[in-house]
Every structure is written in C-alpha cells, then in structure tokens.
Amino acid sequence: MKILITGANGMLAKAMKEELKGEELICTDVAELDITNAEQVNEFIKKVSPEYIINCAAYTAVDKAEENEELVYKINAIGPKNLAVAANDNNAILIHISTDYVFGGDKPIEQDYSEDDPKNPQAVYGTTKLAGERFIQENCSKYYIFRTAWLYGEGHNFVRTMLDLAKTRDEVKVVNDQHGSPTYAVDLASIIHQAMNKKIEFGVYNSTNLGYTTWYDFTKMIFEIENVKCKVTPVTSEEFKSPAKRPKNSQMSKDKLLKNGIIIPTYEEALRRYLSK
Ligand SMILES: NC(=O)c1ccc[n+]([C@@H]2O[C@H](COP(=O)([O-])OP(=O)(O)OC[C@H]3O[C@@H](n4cnc5c(N)ncnc54)[C@H](OP(=O)(O)O)[C@@H]3O)[C@@H](O)[C@H]2O)c1
C-alpha cells in the first residue's frame, strides 16, 4: 500500500512509521509538504497518488494556541480541508486525527462521550480541530477521523515531564479534576492500522487506550511503576491556572471501535509497556 504521512516528525507520526514499516511510505515534514498550502497539497497528492493519506500534522500547543488563533486555524482547519479536497479528487482515503477537546467536557463523570454527542469546544485548539473535522466531512467521502486524547510516546510528553520533575523536587502538584484516558501513541498507531486492515466503515471513531483516570492518579501510577519517591499532591484546575480551559470530562467511549473487533490495550498496560522500553 502506498501511504502518505504528513507532519512526519511528530509524536504520532513516529509511531505510525514504525507500525507501517512494511508498507510503501512517503513521509513529509512541513518543509516538504505544508498542509496549509492548497496548491502544493493538490500537486503533491496528484503526483504521488497515495492509497491512504495519514494526516499527523497539527498545531498541538494547546495554551500557545490561545494567542495564535489565525495560524492555528490554518493548520488545524484549513490544512485538513486541503487534504480532504485533494484526497477526494485523487481517490485516496484520508485518515485524520482529532481530539477529545471538541467536546465541552461538562458531562457528569459517570458518563463518557460517544462519537455523536454534541460538540462544544472550550478553547482555540478544540475549536479549530472541530472545524477541521467538519471540513473533512464536507469535502471528502472516504475518511476516518480518529479522536484521541492525552497522547504520549517518543519525544516530549507528560510521562517524561513528571519523571524529570521528580529528579529535582520532592513534591509535584497535579490536577485531580480532569478525567480521561492517557493514550500511548504506539497503541493509537496500531488502532489505525487495524482499522485500515479491517476496512471498517468510514467515519469518526473515539480512539484512546481503555480505562479512565485523572492526571493525578496517572502521575501516582507512573511514580509507583518507576519506584520514584516523590509526593504527588492533588490540585484543582482552578488552582493550576492555564491559558486554555481544559475539559473536566474527557472520557470517550470506545464501543464503536470495539464493536468493529479492534483490539485496544488498557492505559495501565500501555504505560507499563512504555516505561519498560
Ligand atoms: N498530543 C496530544 O496529547 C494529542 C491529544 C489529542 C489529539 N492529538 C492529535 O493527534 C495528532 C498527532 O499529535 P502529535 O502529538 O503527534 O503532534 P506533534 O508531535 O505536535 O506533531 C505535529 C507535527 O505537525 C507538523 N506541522 C505543523 N504545521 C504543519 C504544516 N503546516 N504542514 C505540515 N506539517 C506541520 C509539526 O512540525 P513542526 O514541529 O516542525 O512545527 C509536527 O511535526 C494531532 O492531530 C493532534 O491534534 C494530540
């Protein structure tokens, strides 16, 4: 299979390349293919004629996004639109990654979000990602949108940040009122690959590891596995001020993927696997 991977230096892209290493891969960074440039996108996809386009390019700095709305919209909304148009014109299947931040996050904690629940993004990142989803749905007939959350993997990520902080502090303060599913990029890449192999129905799929936790409990688990003696103190989102509002409830049901026979590891098992590498 000929597969184009955009944003090829990103965290998910690295896992995706490893997962698909048996395939004919064309991997582009922003210098080779800037997804915000419609003409370049069109010409490139016409020339390469991939069977699949996996869009791993995005603006992912959630707090910085608040001050850079125009640029973020270009990358997270116009970029996917350009890819959707080009995929449609060239009979390619577009695979795009979206986020739990498209939801309002105000559902009771006992409930999780299904794919079709009402959207209500609370900040620039989620708003632009939702616009990207909608452009894809309007402009492309063969697409998958995999909504993920709390991604970690190769490179800078929450797990490494906590372990690094613990080297110089005896206490870390971590929010205890945001609930979601930490997701190992390797497992998301596997979910995407399984969906491609099984040719599941086109559409939107919530795609995280199984199980729910808070950043506070997740941090305690990281330290426990690594035998790190650093105190973890719970704080509220209000105490831990950040420019972008985070959803309190980021829990997304994976029933739709599971019904399609996709195998998804739990976040606990995924974290142990990541830390044992
Ligand atoms: N990380 C998370 O916690 C998380 C959570 C939910 C959803 N997601 C979604 O998952 C996907 C993958 O995220 P990730 O964490 O792997 O992202 P990432 O590591 O930030 O990588 C994104 C890549 O996109 C590239 N890029 C930026 N603008 C571009 C452009 N105009 N044209 C081409 N490439 C461009 C970046 O290049 P430069 O570095 O050179 O700018 C970077 O290599 C994204 O769609 C993201 O929205 C992530």
Q: What atom of ligand 1 comes closest to residue 34's alpha carbon?
A: 32
CATH classification at residue 47: 3.40.50.720
- Top mutation candidate among 5, 6, 12, 76 for ligand 1, by most atoms within 8 Å of CB: 12
Q: Is residue 96 part of a domain?
A: yes
Q: Is residue 104 part of a domain?
A: yes
Please work out whether the CB of residue 79 comes within 6 Å of at least one atom of ligand 1.
yes
- Give me the catalytic one of 125, 144, 152, 212: 125
Q: Is residue 228 part of a domain?
A: no
Give the separation between CA 259 and CA 122, rounded to whole angstroms.
30
Please work out whether the CB of residue 87 comes within 6 Å of at least one atom of ligand 1.
no
Please work out whether the CB of residue 97 comes within 6 Å of at least one atom of ligand 1.
yes
Q: What are phi and psi of 244, to 5 degrees?
A: -100, 135
* Contacts for 153-159: CB closer than 8 Å, 24+ residues apart: 153/11, 153/12, 153/14, 153/15, 153/184, 153/185, 153/186, 153/274, 154/11, 154/14, 154/15, 154/185, 155/11, 155/14, 157/11, 158/182, 158/215, 158/218, 159/222, 159/271, 159/274, 159/275
What is the tally of structural domains in the chain? Answer: 1
Please work out whether the CB of residue 35 comes within 6 Å of at least one atom of ligand 1.
yes
Please work out whether the CB of residue 11 comes within 6 Å of at least one atom of ligand 1.
yes
| Global model pTM greater than 0.75 | yes
Q: Is residue 109 part of a domain?
A: yes
Q: Is residue 231 part of a domain?
A: no
Look at residue 127 in the predicted model and tell me its pLDDT.
98
The Å distance, Cα 56 to ligand 1 centre, comes to: 6
Active site residue 73: no
Look at residue 244 in the predicted model and tell me its pLDDT.
94
Q: Is residue 21 part of a domain?
A: yes
Look at residue 240 in the predicted model and tell me its pLDDT.
85
Give the separation between CA 165 and CA 188, rounded to whole angstroms.
26
Exposure pattern of 211-228 as b/e (b: 16+ CB <10 Å)?
A: bbbbbbebbbbbbeeeeb
The Å distance, Cα 153 to ligand 1 centre, comes to: 13
The Å distance, Cα 6 to ligand 1 centre, comes to: 9
Range of the domain at 99: 2-155+183-209+251-265
Take atom 19 of ligand 1 and give the residue whose Cα is closest.
10
Please work out whether the CB of residue 78 comes within 6 Å of at least one atom of ligand 1.
no
Give the separation between CA 201 and CA 103, rounded to whole angstroms.
23
Per-residue confidence of the chain (277 residues) as pLDDT tens digits? 999 999 999 999 999 999 999 999 999 999 999 999 999 999 999 999 999 999 999 999 999 999 999 999 999 999 999 999 999 999 999 999 999 999 999 999 999 999 999 999 999 999 999 999 999 999 999 999 999 999 999 999 999 999 999 999 999 999 999 999 999 999 999 999 999 999 999 999 999 999 999 999 999 999 999 999 999 999 999 998 899 999 999 999 999 999 999 999 999 999 999 999 8
Q: Is residue 168 part of a domain?
A: no
- Top mutation candidate among 6, 16, 30, 204 for ligand 1, by most atoms within 8 Å of CB: 30
Take atom 8 of ligand 1 and give the residue whose Cα is closest.
99
Q: Is residue 71 part of a domain?
A: yes
Please work out whether the CB of residue 149 comes within 6 Å of at least one atom of ligand 1.
yes
